Structure 1
Amino acid sequence: MIKPPRLKFGDTIGIISPSWGGAEMFPHRVKQGVQCLRKLGFDVRLAKHALNRKGFVSDAPENRAQDIHEMFADPDVKAIIASIGGDHSCHLLPLLDFDLIRSNPKTFMGYSDITVLNVAIWQRTGLVTFNGGTLLADFAEYPDMFEYSKEYFLKAVMGETPIGRIEPASHWTDEFLDWGEKQDQTRPRNLLPSSGWTWLKEGSAEGRLVGGCLESLQHLRGTEYWADWQDAIFFFETSEDKPSPRTVDGTLMDYQNMGVFEKIRGLLIGRPMSYSDDEKQLLRDIVVERTRGYSFPVVADMDFGHTAPQFTLPLGVTARIDSTRKRFEIVEGTVK
């Protein structure tokens, strides 16, 4: 395992757009996100092609890969954060120089479609990557980034000690205020009180965190970038496309058929975006059914993924689940 160097205030964070070209479409979100990072105490550098858009992606695969390589190779850049997700980070996998990445370890973070890169980089290089906020979605929150998201981001990338226990957020939202109409600049999103996480199956477990967006993980199945699930705590969440509980059931059955559930030690599920209460309960019932023959603990409705705020999850780092104490904690340091 390779842990990236700890970020310090004043360090430069590079912004890339390895998938969708949303940064070109919503410059006000770019401005808001950059201001947030600077307010936190970091310098910001935009990659050469980060603000481009070419059809449904930001740029040609070669240019998107070039941005990643240049950010990893630049000694002045200490962390790399994706501007937004998408559906086409998979274009970059055959183009990435994993030796370059391994030789220049630094914080690499995003979620949604960035799952593809998080898992592939971790699998091929051993570098701890981070399932966490993106520039447009999290750092550009109006009027400011949620304190919960901010707290766990800073703990993950700057902490001298392990992140430790992660507490449920007191409130959450999946409200969408149209970015194109700049409704997102008119008021803060409405927050709902949280009833906490749902402990679906009892037990205690310790293992390496591996996972991300469930739909994005599908791009890696059958490839050399597919994760090693042995002794893992598997975490997943679903995207704004809102795959139905029925669809998630089929995907989880695939994981069962592939033998993933026989290898993992625990399962964490992010709060699904745009689900009704009935759909959330159906999803919980499906997860219990799919994992019935296994003894690992399962926690649902957690604060990561496409609802906000979210905590940051480091891939490859050891975490612990204890249902008796209703406790989830990251017990290993994430940076060095």
Structure 2
Amino acid sequence: MRAKALPRNGAIGLCSPSHIPLYEAAPGQEVPRSWEYKNIIQSMEKEGFRVVQADNLYKTTWGYLASDQERGADLNQLAADPSVDCILFGGGEGAPEMPPYLDFELFRRNPKRICSYSDGTTILNAVWATTGLETYYGQNPTVFTGWTDYNRRHFEGHILGGRMAVHEKNSPWLCLNPGTAEGVLTGGYTMNFALLLGTKHFPVDLREPHILFLEDHEMFGGEDHVSAMLGYIEQSEFMSSVTGVIFGNYADHPCPNLYARLKLLGERHGIPVVYCDDFGHGENHAILPIGRRAQLDADRLELSYLS
């Protein structure tokens, strides 16, 4: 199931399941740029979008986050609001607490394009696996305050437009294990995806082939951490359905140990594996549609969409 595209004068719903945003930082207060929402909202409005802020967006009930019930209520509020065309939220920590509080029937009855990245992996995959609604991995609200041409083309192609026919690249791709694969795209930030496996909120059909995309970053964990997460995924029943793997940006320098670990994964399971810097926590924020059927050609270094 695919929701209608976001109209160019449509409404974007903002919530924050993974961090406490501020509308505007106080003088001298240092907060991450992605957590200060005044510029984000003004940038969206300048482009002609209406912004709907969820009721609990700025709540600090738990000190480090709004409560799990408040954050879940915000997601449900935006899903139910007929004036909201797209739901957009960023990362942090906390999204794994959300699935028990999501009214998946609301998302099924009111399909809209939902986009996030990083910690949002949990929500995007739970919504898709439970409802069949295609969701979108790769961007957060901050992109509006500093568009690159590449990131804008992906937003316009996947959120404003119908569907991209092929993945547009913006970095060299490395073939770590050759071959071709077809399957339904799913994945996201490595730890979040691993934590979701085996839970009742990720009811995937293991008879269906899947192309798994993953990303991590050296600022969050070393190559040993990534290897441990890959090992966990490999031990899951889900791995039997994986026909190919795409790994996104980990660092702005070559990572031969990571490449070797990904190559080993491909050889162990007899599947193609590629590495690129198109998506993740770097400068490039390509969007990958979770739930869309695709073909990965590791020999030609291409990802194309089949549906």
Within the candidate set 199, 220, 223, 2:175 is matched to: 199
Amino acid at match of 1:77: V
SS at match of 1:303: strand
Per the alignment, residue 249 of structure 2 pairs with 271
Per-residue deviation, residues 146-193 of structure 1 (Å, max 9, x unmatched): 111111111102323x30222322xxxxxxxxxxxxxxxxxxxxxxxx
CA contact (8 A) 1:209 1:233 kept: yes
* TM-score, length basis structure 1: 0.82
CA contact (8 A) 1:268 1:302 kept: no
Within the candidate set 296, 317, 320, 2:292 is matched to: 317
Question: Which residues of structure 2 form unaligned runs of 5+?
Answer: 26-30
Identity %: 28
The size of the alignment, in residue pairs, is 297
Q: Distance in 2 between matches of 1:152 and 1:27?
A: 24
Within the candidate set 142, 151, 154, 2:153 is matched to: 151
Per the alignment, residue 53 of structure 1 pairs with 60
Question: Which residues of structure 1 form unaligned runs of 5+?
Answer: 170-193
CA RMSD in angstroms, aligned pairs only: 2.1
Per-residue deviation, residues 45-83 of structure 1 (Å, max 9, x unmatched): 21112123345643111111111111111111111000x
CA contact (8 A) 2:198 2:236 kept: no
C-alpha distance 209-49 of structure 1, shift in aligned 2 (>3 A): same
Per the alignment, residue 28 of structure 2 pairs with none
Within the candidate set 62, 66, 81, 2:73 is matched to: 66
Per the alignment, residue 175 of structure 1 pairs with none
Per-residue deviation, residues 211-230 of structure 1 (Å, max 9, x unmatched): 01011123313311236253
SS at match of 2:299: coil
Per-residue deviation, residues 207-265 of structure 1 (Å, max 9, x unmatched): 11000101112331331123625301000001464321122222222222224333211
Amino acid at match of 2:53: L
Amino acid at match of 2:285: Q
Following superposition, the deviation at residue 23 of structure 1 comes to 3.9
CA contact (8 A) 1:215 1:239 kept: no
- State yes or no: 1:167 paired with 2:168: yes
Per the alignment, residue 184 of structure 1 pairs with none
Q: Distance in 2 between matches of 1:115 and 1:319?
A: 19
Amino acid at match of 2:248: G
* TM-score, length basis structure 2: 0.89
Q: Distance in 1 between matches of 2:60 and 2:232?
A: 35
Per the alignment, residue 329 of structure 1 pairs with 304
- State yes or no: 1:299 paired with 2:282: no
Per the alignment, residue 117 of structure 1 pairs with 123
Per the alignment, residue 191 of structure 1 pairs with none
Per the alignment, residue 126 of structure 1 pairs with 132
CA contact (8 A) 1:132 1:153 kept: no
Within the candidate set 229, 233, 257, 1:282 is matched to: 257
Q: Distance in 2 between matches of 1:31 and 1:17?
A: 14
Q: Distance in 1 between matches of 2:232 and 2:95?
A: 22
Q: Distance in 2 between matches of 1:66 and 1:243?
A: 31
- State yes or no: 1:247 paired with 2:225: yes
Amino acid at match of 1:152: H
C-alpha distance 239-54 of structure 1, shift in aligned 2 (>3 A): farther
Amino acid at match of 1:221: L
CA contact (8 A) 1:249 1:290 kept: no
Per the alignment, residue 216 of structure 2 pairs with 238
Per the alignment, residue 144 of structure 2 pairs with 139
CA contact (8 A) 2:197 2:236 kept: no
